[in-house]
Amino acid sequence: MPKGTYYFTKGFLWGTATAAQQVEGRNDNNTWAAWEAQEGRIQGGDRAGLACDWWGGRWREDFDRASTAGQNAHRLSIEWSRIQPAPDMWDEEALDRYRQMLIGLQERKMTPMVTLHHFSEPIWVADIGGWENPAIIDLFGGFVRKSVQALMPYCRLWVPINEPNVFALSAYVAGLFPPGKKDLKLALMVLRHLVGAHARAYHVIHELQPEARVGTSIHYRGFTPATWLGVDRLAANAYNRVFNDLFPQAVTDGQFDLPFKKDQIPEAAGTQDFLGINYYTSSHVRFDLLAPKDLFAHLSYPEGAALSETGFIANTPQGMIDAVLWGEQFGAPMIITENGVDDSDDVLRPQYLLEHLHALWRVMNDNHPVEGYFHWTLVDNFEWERGWSQRFGLWGLDLETQARVRRPSADLYAEICRTNGISADMVEKYAPQSMPNLFP
C-alpha cells in the first residue's frame, strides 16, 4: 500500500461553520421564525425550536468538541434580531452572550470568524420592506457598527453577508426563503442592495478596526453545459455570470454588470480583503424554454457521481479545484468558508471530505494559495426550508434529548486537523474506496 501524507501550509485554518438561526434556538423575533410558523413553508412542518440550544449555553460543549478535535478556528454568525429586537432598542445582554462565545473560542485557542447576516433579519426590518427597501443599507450599517464596537476586541475576521447570491435567488426567485417572492427583476434589485450593504459594512468595520479583514462568503457552484449545443453553453454562461460572478465582481471593481445591462456601484470597489468560497457540488446545465423560473435551464448532476442521501449534493471534488481557480480572478486571498455533505449514516461523508480536501491540496500545491477550510458543519442543525431532513454534522443531534452523537467523520476530521494534512493511513481507514485516486 502506498504511504505518504499531503501536508497543508503552516498556519492553515481548520474549522467548522455554523449559523445563528440554525444552532441557537429560542428565537421568535426574526423572519425565519415567522416563516416556519406558516403552513407548508418547511419540509415536514419542522421548526427550528431549540435547534442545538446554543442560546441556552450548549455552545460551550460544542466548542470543547471542536477544540479537542484539533480545530483551530470556527465560523459563526450573530443574529441581528437579538441585538436590535426593535428599531429603537439594543439588547446589551445579547451582545454579551456573543462576546462570551468569542471569548470562549479565544480561550480554546480558536480563531473566530463572524458572519453578520446569515439569511435572517428582524421582523421589524421585514415589515418595512426588508431588502427591497434601499433604507436597509443604512439600517444594516447601524447594526454592524453597534455589533463590531462590542465584539472587535475578540474578532478580526468578518463576513458581512453570507451567500448573497443564494439569499437573493432563494428568497426572490425560487420563493423558498422569506419573503417567498418569485420575481427575477426584484431579486437583482435586492442583490444590488446586498452589495451596497456589504460595502457599507466594510467601510464601517475598517473605520472602527483598521486591522480587521472583511470578506465575502460566496456560494460557488460549477455550471457546465450539458451538451455541445450553443443554447446550453449560453445557459451555463448566464448561470455563472449571475449566480457566481455578479456579487464578487461588484465588491472587487464596483461593476454590477448583468448579461443585458451594465451598472456601477463605485462605493463597493475594493471592499473585499478575502474571498470566502462555499463549495458543495457542481451541475450540468441544459437550456429549457419551459423553465422561466429557473432562468430557462434544467440543472442535473454529472452522470455516475455519488449522491447524498437526499440527492441534494453530488460528490464532485473537481469542482473544488474549479472553485479556487475561479476565485483567483478577484485578486483576494481565499478561504473555503463552507464545504460538506448531508449524510446521517456517515457513509459518503468520509469519502467526500477526503476527496475534496485532496482536490484542495492539489490546487494549492499548484501555487494557488488558500488560507483555511471550514467544514459544514459541527453538529446537525436546522437546514432552512429543508428543516431537519438533512444531517450535515460531524456530530449527530438527538432532537429529543439534545445529545450529541459522534460520527466516524468527527474522528477523521480530527486526524486531518491534528496532522495538518491527509495521510494514506487515513484514507485506508475511513474511505478505502478512494485510495486508487488519492494514493495511486
Q: Is residue 283 part of a domain?
A: yes
pLDDT for 371: 98
pLDDT for 165: 98
pTM, full prediction: 0.98
pLDDT for 1: 66
Average pLDDT of every residue of the chain: 97
Find all residues with CB under 8 Å of 435, minimum gap 6, and list them: 1, 2, 424, 427, 428
- What is the residue type of 234? L
Instruction: Flag the least confident range among 131-135, 182-186, 273-277.
Output: 182-186
Q: Is residue 419 part of a domain?
A: no
Cβ(55)–Cβ(77) below 8 Å: no
Q: Name the nearest CA neighbour of 128 among 201, 38, 31.
A: 31
Q: How confident is the model at residue 420 (pLDDT cuts 50, 70, 90)?
A: very high
Q: Is residue 428 part of a domain?
A: no
**pLDDT value at 28 more than 80:** yes
Q: Helical H runs in 91-183? A: 92-107, 123-127, 136-151, 164-172
Which tens digits make up the pLDDT trace of 97-147? 999 999 999 999 999 999 999 999 999 999 999 999 999 999 999 999 999
Helix (H, G, I), strand (E, B) or coil at 346: coil
Cβ(159)–Cβ(116) below 8 Å: yes
pLDDT for 2: 75
Q: Is residue 435 part of a domain?
A: no
Q: And the C-alpha cell for 410? A: 468527527
Q: Is residue 312 part of a domain?
A: yes
pLDDT for 295: 74
| CB burial string 117-149: b at 16+ within 10 A, e below | bbbbbbbbbbeeebbbeeebbebbbebbbbbbe
**pLDDT value at 293 more than 80:** no
Q: How confident is the model at residue 261 (pLDDT cuts 50, 70, 90)?
A: confident
How many domains in the chain?
1
Q: How confident is the model at residue 290 (pLDDT cuts 50, 70, 90)?
A: confident
Domain containing 175: what range? 9-401
Compute the distance between CA of residue 401 and CA of residue 120 in angstroms, rounded to an integer: 26
CB atoms closer than 10 angstroms to residue 412: 23
Helical pair 349-365 and 408-419, crossing angle rounded to 10 deg: 20
Give the angle 117-118-121 at the CA atoms, nearest 5°: 60
Q: Is residue 427 part of a domain?
A: no
| CB burial string 394-411: b at 16+ within 10 A, e below | bbbbeeeebebbebebbb
Which tens digits make up the pLDDT trace of 306-355? 999 999 999 999 999 999 999 999 999 999 999 999 999 999 999 999 99
**pLDDT value at 15 more than 70:** yes
Q: Is residue 423 part of a domain?
A: no
Compute the distance between CA of residue 129 and CA of residue 123 in angstroms, rounded to an integer: 10
Compute the distance between CA of residue 366 and CA of residue 345 in angstroms, rounded to an integer: 34
Give the angle 85-87-89 at the CA atoms, nearest 5°: 60
Q: Is residue 411 part of a domain?
A: no
Domain harbouring 31, CATH code: 3.20.20.80
Q: How confident is the model at residue 385 (pLDDT cuts 50, 70, 90)?
A: very high
Which tens digits make up the pLDDT trace of 204-235? 999 999 999 999 999 999 999 999 999 999 99
